Amino acid sequence: MKLLLASGSPYRKQLLERLELSFECRAPDIDETPQRDETAEKLALRLSAAKAQALAAAYPDHLIIASDQAAQLGSTILGKPGTPARAIEQLTACNNKTVTFYTGLCLLNTTTGKQQIDCVPFTVHFRNLAREQIANYIKKEEPLDCAGSFKCEGLGITLFTRMEGDDPNSLTGLPLIRLTDMLLNEGISII
């Protein structure tokens, strides 16, 4: 079956390329606004399924891979900052705190209608950072399109004292270990 990555994210595309599979990319157009009282985990699950479903009719006989990520600091969901000022605000709030990233993953078989869906958490423990360090980081990395205002594949790793989780790729936005399991369930072996 053909594979489609339902994403416009260059980070997710780079991660999926690591599996050396042939695939297409297309960004779905969905409303990503959190619903009232929705947790980060439920948001990530809902949006990953919605992204896959949004492209299902246009891609028959495909396996659609969709993923979405939400970060949670206490009861607050941290989205993509969009501006340097908002990124500074987010990272300042994370100082000396623990943030859990929930990465929803959906694999939809558009031939059978079978949908596999899961959420992979990953927790990071932030350092105590001075405002100047935060501003310098944002200026160098420009993480304005990243949930939580950092890129762990770059200098973002220096923001943490430790990390916890089963798949570090989930922190970048596509849990490859769980995706491999889902693909195997569809008869696709990577190696």
Q: Tally DSSP H helices, then E strands, for the chain.
A: 6, 7
Residue at token pair 């991660």: 15
Is residue 158 assigned to a domain?
yes
- 44 close to 32: Cβ distance less than 8 angstroms: no
Q: What is the pLDDT along the chain (191 residues), one digit of tens a residue?
A: 899 999 998 889 999 999 999 999 999 999 988 898 899 999 999 999 999 999 999 999 999 999 999 999 998 998 889 999 999 999 999 999 999 999 999 999 999 999 999 999 999 999 999 999 999 999 999 999 888 888 887 888 899 999 999 999 998 889 999 999 999 999 999 98
The whole domain housing 128 covers 2-185
Q: Which residue out of 31, 68, 145, 167 is catalytically annotated?
A: 68
Alpha helices in 18-166 (DSSP H): 40-56, 84-94, 131-141
Check residue 148 and give its pLDDT: 86
Q: Determine whether 166 is an active site residue.
A: no
Structure tokens at 70: 């939400």
Per-residue pLDDT, 79: 84
Q: What is the CATH number of the domain that holds 66?
A: 3.90.950.10
The answer to whether residue 47 sits within a structural domain is yes
Residue 191 lies in a domain: no
| In-domain check, residue 64 | yes
Residue 95 phi/psi, 5° resolution? -50, 125
> What local confidence, expressed as pLDDT, does residue 172 receive?
87
Q: Report if pTM > 0.85.
A: yes
How much is the pLDDT for 154? 82
pLDDT of residue 164: 96
What distance in Å separates the CA atoms of residue 54 and residue 28, rounded to the nearest whole number? 6
DSSP string over 46-57: HHHHHHHHHHHT
Residue 51: HSE in the Cβ half-sphere, 13 Å Cα cutoff: 29
- Residue 54 is assigned to a structural domain of this protein: yes
How many angstroms separate the CA atoms of 128 and 149, rounded? 16
Number of domains observed in the structure of the chain: 1
Amino acid present at 84: P
Cα separation, 55 vs 6, in Å, equals 7
- CA-CA distance, 185 to 95, in Å (whole number)? 41
Measured from the Cβ of residue 10, the count of other Cβ atoms closer than 10 Å reads 11
> Considering the domain boundaries, does residue 74 fall inside one?
yes
Residue 190 lies in a domain: no
Whether residue 120 lies inside any domain: the answer is yes
